[in-house]
Every structure is written in C-alpha cells, then in structure tokens.
Amino acid sequence: MKIAQIAPLWESVPPVGYGGIELVVSLLTDELVRRGHEVTLFASGDSQTLAHLEPGCDRALRPMGITHKDFAIYEQMQLGKIVARSHQFDLIHSHLIYAAVPYANLIKTPIIHTLHWIMEPVMEMFFQQHQQQNYISISNSQRRPELGLNYIDTVYNSIPIDRFTFHPEPENPPYLAFLGRMSESKGPHLAIEIAKRTGLPLKMAGKVDLFNQEFYETKVEPLIDNDQIQCVGEITSQEKNDLLGGAIATLFPIQWREPFGLVMTESMACGTPVIATNFGAAPEVVADGETGFICEDIDSCVAAIDKLPSLSRQACRERVQNHFSVSRMVDNYEAVYRRILAEGFAKNGRSLESEFAGN
C-alpha cells in the first residue's frame, strides 16, 4: 500500500522528549515500512524515519516558541501539499486533532483520522458536521456515541517495549515517580500531595509549555524542595527508563478524561505499577489490583501505597507485552486500512486482493 502519515508539527517524529502522538506515529510509520508498505511521512524536517519524509517546516515548532496562530499557518501549508499529492496515495492517515477533517471531502483518496484528544464543546459541533468521516479512537472511553461519529475501530497506542529495561525490584530507598506535562489536568500538584502525605520521596519529570507556565510557577514549583520533592524537567529516554524503573510506583493522578496515557504503559514496561485516578482510559490500561490501582480520589491514592507489595512487577511487564506492543498496534491499523480500501474497491467492482497482490 502507498500510505501517507500526517503528524503534528509541534514535535519531531519521534519526539526528543515529551510527545505521545509523535512517538506513536514514529512506531507505526517505521513498522509499516518494515512490512513492505510505501510510506510517506508528513512531519517536521528534523524528524527521523524509515519512510520518505516530506517536511511541513524545517524543525519542530514547539521548541521554537511558535504561537498557535503561526502554527495554524504551517499546518495549513502542510495540508495543502498533501491535497495536491493525494492521488499518489492509496490511503491517508491523519494524526492531527481536526485540521485534516474538512479536506476529506475535497479528495478521492480515503482519509482515516486517529483521534488522539478529547473533544471540547466547540470541537463537538465541528465533528458533528463531519460525522461520516473515518474515525479511530485510541480507547473505548474516549468515544462519544451521542455525537453519532463513524468510529470504525479502537486501536490502542503502543510503546517499543524492548527499549524499556525490566526492573524486577525497585531501588532502595524507595521513591515515587511522576512523569508528564506540568499541567493541572495531569495532576503534578496532586502527586506532590500524595508524596507528602505518605512521607515518600517523589521524583518528577516533564515539560512546562507556555500554556501551563503560570500553573507550574504558582502551584508546583513552590512545592519543590529538591529534597523530598525533586523535579528535573524534560528527560531523555534512558533517564525515563531509570526514573520509572526504580520507583515503587508511578503516580498518575489525572484530572481529565485522558484518552490513553502512554506513561502508564511505559511504567508497567519497566515493571513499575501505576496508581491512577479513575478518569478516561486509566481502567483500560491498568489492570486494577494486578498492575496498579485505579483510585476514586487522592485519599484512595494514598491508601494504595500500602497495597503495592501485593502486586507483581512481572505482571506489569506482561500487561504491556500482551496488550500494547508495536506489532499488535500495527496489526490492528493494517486491518483497518485493508477494510477501508476493500469497501472502496467493492463499490467499483474491484477486489483488495487483485489490487495489492503479494502485499
């Protein structure tokens, strides 16, 4: 198949530090190439990929401090290139939030949209105007059946589990970990509260973007004493591995309907259980009572610390191997691609097998 993958231009593919969508796009794109597909990746010019790269800008825009207004211009220029070349592809797969949706009505090539975000009120109105597009959810909890959207499948995100070292035992002395964007919705301030109430050290890492600068400076930074509460900012993949793998638990006290949550899978891949609040996809990712605990409030999170010895770190690793591997994610996406193309060929009296014999 000739497939176009469209990535956001905020971060490179794969991301240097934090960037969940870009990581998923990288894993999907490279594995499709390994499987023999002809893939073109539309992404920032500093991206690294096995596919043919079509830059939408010289380098990732978020580290450059680009405004949302200027970002939208870059995004539209990128989409203009894709529309002009759409006839060259059998299928286009967009990982943008919504920007590619209207273009599907302008071209004949089928477009699939993976929804990596939750919908806010204005977005709900927008998507209801485009109900019949091909949408993929990244968790069942993310879906909004009342909007009448054409969800064609749920495909869970994946991580490259071989890049995460299994830690059969946590470090001593024990500590808790937090990894994520320093925003109110991710709950770094609540992770600090949990740590203070248990008396355990907390090691934190994550980016602070322009939109969360005030929150971080007023609600998080004053609580960092560089003793019990430590924060090291953005970290590399190896540093992430060490941070998560050495902890007795990773705290994930989110306060929003997280559509997936890669940090939970990364933690479990290291063998570290997750203590998460019951929002969004957390109950789909973490097996409650087996690979972590799903909690209703901060009191429950604090109480869960004492129950950690009952969990198996090996079970955490196996959870990721069995449900969130790259091969499983790409198998599912390939199945979606073939189904969409087969439906289109059938309308014209052709078959998928004859079009892609041997592929």
Confidence label for 354 from pLDDT (cuts 50, 70 and 90): low
User: What pLDDT is recorded for position 236?
Assistant: 85
Residue 147 has pLDDT above 60, yes or no: yes
CB atoms inside a 10 Å sphere around CB 84: 10
- Give the pLDDT confidence of 163-195 residue by residue, as tens digits: 999 999 999 999 999 999 999 999 999 999 999
CA distance 214 to 233: 16
Q: Given this model, what pLDDT does residue 105 score?
A: 87
Q: Where in the chain is the domain with CATH 3.40.50.2000?
A: 2-158+325-355, 161-322
pLDDT confidence band for 92 (50 / 70 / 90): very high
* Banded model confidence at residue 341, pLDDT cuts 50, 70, 90: very high
Q: What is the mean pLDDT of the chain?
A: 94
Q: Which class is 2-158+325-355 in CATH?
A: alpha beta
Contact 279, 253 (CB under 8 A): no
Closest to 206 in 3D by CA, of 163, 242, 177: 177
pLDDT at 240 exceeding the cut of 80? yes
Average pLDDT rounded to a whole number, residues 301-322: 98
Instruction: Give CA angle at 124 (121, 125), nearest 5°.
Output: 100
At residue 66, the pLDDT reads 87
Flag whether pLDDT at 256 surpasses 90.
yes
Provide the pLDDT for residue 84.
Answer: 95
Residue 22 in this model has a pLDDT that exceeds 70: yes
How far, in Å, CA of 307 to CA of 324, rounded? 25
**pLDDT, tens digit, for every residue of 28-48?**
999 999 999 999 999 999 999
Q: Is the pLDDT of residue 344 over 90?
A: no
pLDDT of residue 358: 53
Give the per-residue pLDDT at 348.
63
Tokens of 131: 């109900």
**Least confident stretch, 65-69, 202-206, 315-319:** 65-69
**Does pLDDT of 17 surpass 90?**
no
> Which CATH number does 161-322 carry?
3.40.50.2000
Is the pLDDT higher at 15 or at 49? 49
Average pLDDT of span 279-304: 98
- Position 352 scores a pLDDT of 61
120 band by pLDDT with thresholds 50, 70 and 90: confident
Specify the pLDDT at position 107.
94
- The average pLDDT across 113-135 equals 93
* pTM of the predicted structure, to 2 decimals: 0.92
